[in-house]
């Protein structure tokens, strides 16, 4: 029999302590664990310690929460936008956030105690910056990133992109007198360096990364090394904290004395430890990433789940014969790998479903490219494989011969965050979802394909079914007659709907089910007899469980009940079974003294 796994908080903590050690382990303190809502389209939760060392703010991009560094309750702050992309503390303890959506403004200033906020520099929509050649550049407040305060609170730096390069702009505390102080191919983690009374940052030139200790001074000292994430300086400027890669491809946290250049490794876990922030009294907060994802199956009638893969794998899809399941696999979600996005370690393969023990590797490797590949599905006649990829700087749907004798080629163009392809049962159409560049309002994309020779018969068409204009379509499945589509429709950040819509126009759709969920790309599955739709939603304990609803919307049944988070359900084409991904994605925040 296949083994069944349950991951709990205690498992995670045991995993952390048994798979690594910290040089300062006797002083290491667990601060909090922040879970992420799903494996697709989400980024690592972020956190930062306050200047006085008393508080820590966390965000999984949707929530903004504050907690004492010693533990206790989490208090949720009332945010302005839909997504938190960045935050920092000012030297006097105000929280500054970069938020998207909501009221349309991007930078806000929070009073933590009062749980109030207001726009930062509301009267400054555009800054005029003079370059060294005396040309003037207009920089929108919306385009500023990584705003960071000096230790005395009088100076602020931020970055923006200009003509494909990263430039650093310094302001006075009130946003006046902007000036250009640095121009690089790319850089990140701008921080105030007390030892040189200037701005430092990580410089990125292709594959070369290093810390420049003074961005304004070309002759300033540099720290060579494969450095990622944030850097942080002690208040006295005598030491710097940073994360650098090890021989296994993950990050360890280091402390370096800036006077003697002596280095000390602080962590040695099997997972990434990175993104240090430091308070003025020397408390260091850093994070450890725990990311795991596997494929499992369960009877559509409910019961125990069984694990199908024991290696990192997601987005299952059944072969038409019901004996194999395809998926995306690899070792992405390592910080060093994700920094190369979209050229990350995501490949395509499949395993046999009928097996005695979970697979430790794919039974077959279908595509192993330099870039992200996802969502593999077979054509009904089994001659072709469709998938999503970022290869060749695309973000589109491609097809390749199932026998590998014809080079993979794109069948759509100009996609943005294009989803996973689904081939119609009659073999004539491939459908997915995509968005306009810069617009996350996802629409359907359909292209006609001849499954005998792989040629495009009808160019791509992007459309929105009537009545679904205001939200986003995040997954789609065909009905067995190839005439209708079942779509997962995101109404807002906390609500989804399942609709049946005509595939080729000619009328409005039908709402099947509406439910609460804040996992964005969880996906749906349709049974082979068109009687049930599988979907993911949180249970009353907050775990993302597998449910199914009848096509007429009258019957609703929960299928899984164990304490794990799930996503990407898909029905078997020949029997009453559902495959899905089961995942852990969380950041474990630790603190240690300086």
**pLDDT recorded at residue 105:** 74
Q: How confident is the model at residue 21 (pLDDT cuts 50, 70, 90)?
A: very low
What is the reported pLDDT for 26?
56
And the tokens for 101? 């959506």
SS3 26: helix
Distance of alpha carbon 587 from alpha carbon 387, whole angstroms: 30
Query: Over pLDDT 70: what percentage of the chain?
Result: 94
Helix (H, G, I), strand (E, B) or coil at 576: coil
Model confidence pLDDT, tens digit, residues 549-583: 999 999 999 999 999 999 999 999 999 999 999 99
Tens-digit pLDDT profile for residues 323-365? 999 999 999 999 999 999 999 999 999 999 999 999 999 999 9
> Which run of H or E residues covers position 558?
strand 556-558
pTM value is 0.92
C-beta separation of 394 from 406 below 8 A: no
pLDDT, one tens digit per residue, over 503-537 is: 998 788 999 999 999 999 999 999 999 999 999 99
| Residues sharing a CB contact under 8 Å with residue 225, sequence separation 6 or more, in sequence order | 209, 210, 211, 242, 244
Under the banding of pLDDT at 50, 70 and 90, the label for residue 15 is very low
Helix (H) or strand (E) holding 536: strand 532-538
* Gyration radius from the chain CA atoms: 25
Residues in the chain: 594
Q: Give the per-residue pLDDT at 6.
A: 39
- Asked whether residue 199 carries a pLDDT value surpassing 80, the answer given is yes
Output the average pLDDT for the chain: 92
Strand ranges (E), 114-250: 116-119, 126-130, 136-140, 145-149, 155-162, 165-172, 179-184, 187-193, 198-205, 208-212, 222-224, 227-233, 239-245
Name 582's bridge partners. 294, 566
Is a pLDDT exceeding 90 seen at residue 9?
Answer: no
Burial pattern 523-542, b for ≥16 Cβ within 10 A else e, equals bbbbbbebebbbbbbbeeee
Kindly tell me the burial class for residue 187, based on how many C-beta atoms sit within 10 Å of its own C-beta (0-12, 13-18, 19 or more): buried
DSSP 451-516: TTT--EEEEEEEE--TT-SSSEEEEEEE-TTSSEEEEEEEEETTEEEEEEEETTSSS--EEEEEEE
**pLDDT tens-digit profile of 462-499?**
999 999 999 999 999 999 999 999 999 999 989 999 99
User: pLDDT tens-digit profile of 275-326?
Assistant: 999 999 999 999 999 999 999 999 999 999 999 999 999 999 999 999 999 9
pLDDT over 90 percentage in the chain = 85
Q: Residue 439 — pLDDT band, cuts 50, 70, 90?
A: low
Task: Give the CATH fold of the 90-102+120-269 domain.
Answer: Methylamine Dehydrogenase; Chain H (2.130.10)
pLDDT for position 38: 96
Of residues 450 and 14, more confidently modeled = 450
Measuring CA to CA, how many Å separate 538 from each of 527, 541, 562? 21, 7, 12
| Tokens describing residue 481 | 């007659």
Q: What is the DSSP letter of 309?
A: B
| Per-residue model confidence as pLDDT tens digits over 356-401 | 999 999 999 999 999 999 999 999 999 999 999 999 999 999 999 9
- Gap between the Cα atoms of 223 and 240, Å rounded: 10
Round to whole Å and give the CA distance between 313 and 164: 34
For the segment 61-82, what is each residue's pLDDT rounded down to a tens digit? Answer: 989 999 999 988 999 999 998 8
Confidence of residue 594 (pLDDT cuts 50, 70, 90): low
The pLDDT, as a whole number, for residue 230 is 97
pLDDT digits (tens, 9 = 90+) for 82-114: 889 999 999 989 999 999 887 667 899 999 999
Q: Any idea where the domains of the chain sit in the sequence?
A: 90-102+120-269, 291-587
∠ at Cα 62 (59, 65), nearest 5°?
40
Query: Residue 144: how many CA atoms within 13 Å on its side-chain side?
Result: 34
Superfamily of the domain at 291-587: TolB, C-terminal domain (2.120.10.30)
Closest to 532 (Cα-Cα) out of 564, 506, 571: 571
Q: CA 487, CA 445: separation in Å to the nearest integer?
A: 12
Query: For position 219, what pLDDT does the model report?
Result: 93
162 vs 556, higher pLDDT? 556
Rounded CA-CA distance 14/253 in Å is 21
- Phi/psi at 17 (nearest 5 deg)? -75, -30
Residue-level pLDDT at 505: 82
Residue 443 confidence (pLDDT) above 90:
yes
């Amino acid at each position: 029999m296949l083994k069944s796994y349950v991951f709990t908080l205690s498992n995670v903590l045991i995993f952390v302590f048994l798979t690594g050690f910290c040089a300062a382990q006797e002083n290491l303190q667990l601060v909090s664990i922040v879970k992420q809502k799903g494996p697709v389209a989400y980024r690592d939760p972020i956190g930062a310690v306050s200047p006085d060392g008393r508080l820590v703010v966390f965000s999984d991009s949707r929530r903004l929460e504050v907690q004492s560094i010693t533990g206790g309750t989490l208090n949720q702050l009332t945010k302005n936008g839909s997504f938190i992309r960045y935050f920092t503390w000012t030297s006097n303890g105000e929280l500054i956030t970069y938020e998207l959506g909501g009221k349309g403004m991007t930078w806000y200033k929070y009073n933590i105690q009062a749980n109030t906020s207001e726009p930062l520099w509301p009267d400054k929509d555009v800054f005029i910056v003079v370059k060294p050649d005396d040309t003037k550049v207009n920089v929108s407040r919306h385009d500023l990133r990584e705003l960071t305060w000096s230790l005395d609170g009088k100076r602020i730096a931020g970055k923006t992109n200009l003509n494909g390069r990263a430039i650093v702009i310094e302001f006075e505390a009130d946003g006046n007198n902007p000036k250009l102080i640095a121009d690089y191919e790319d850089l990140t983690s701008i921080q105030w360096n007390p030892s040189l009374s200037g701005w430092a940052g990580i410089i990125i030139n292709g594959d070369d990364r290093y810390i420049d200790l003074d961005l304004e001074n070309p002759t300033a000292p540099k720290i060579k090394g494969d450095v990622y994430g944030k850097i942080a300086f002690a208040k006295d400027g005598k030491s710097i904290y940073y994360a650098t890669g090890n021989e296994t491809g993950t990050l360890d946290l280091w402390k370096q004395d800036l006077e003697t250049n002596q280095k000390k490794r602080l962590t040695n876990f099997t997972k990434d430890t990175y993104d240090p922030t430091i308070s003025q009294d020397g408390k260091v907060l850093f994070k450890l990433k725990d990311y795991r994802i596997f494929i499992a199956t369960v009877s559509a009638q409910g019961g125990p789940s069984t694990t199908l893969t024991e290696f990192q794998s997601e987005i299952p899809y059944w072969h038409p014969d019901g004996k194999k399941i395809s998926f995306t696999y690899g070792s992405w979600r390592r910080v060093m790998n994700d920094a190369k996005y979209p050229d990350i370690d995501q490949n395509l393969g499949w395993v046999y479903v009928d097996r005695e023990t979970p697979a430790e590797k794919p039974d077959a490797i279908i595509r192993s490219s330099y870039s992200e590949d996802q969502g593999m599905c077979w054509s009904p006649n089994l001659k072709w494989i469709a998938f999503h990829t970022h290869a060749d700087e695309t973000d589109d749907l491609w097809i390749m011969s199932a026998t590998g004798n014809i080079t993979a080629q794109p069948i759509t163009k100009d996609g943005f965050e294009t989803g996973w392809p689904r081939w119609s049962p009659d073999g004539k159409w491939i459908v997915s979802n995509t968005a306009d560049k810069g617009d996350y309002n996802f629409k359907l994309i359909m292209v006609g394909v001849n499954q005998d020779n792989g040629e495009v018969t009808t160019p791509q068409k992007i459309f929105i079914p009537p009545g679904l204009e205001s939200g986003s379509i995040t997954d789609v499945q065909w009905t067995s007659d190839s005439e209708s589509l079942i779509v997962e429709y995101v109404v807002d950040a906390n609500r989804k709907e399942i609709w049946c819509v005509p595939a080729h126009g000619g009328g409005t759709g039908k709402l099947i089910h509406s439910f609460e969920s804040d996992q964005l790309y969880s996906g749906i599955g349709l049974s082979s007899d068109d009687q049930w739709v599988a979907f993911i939603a949180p249970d009353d304990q907050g775990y993302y469980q597998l449910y199914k609803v009848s096509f007429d919307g009258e019957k609703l049944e929960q299928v899984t009940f164990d304490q794990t988070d799930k996503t990407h359900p898909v029905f078997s084409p020949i029997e009453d079974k559902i495959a899905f991904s089961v995942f852990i994605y969380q950041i474990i925040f630790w603190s240690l003294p300086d």
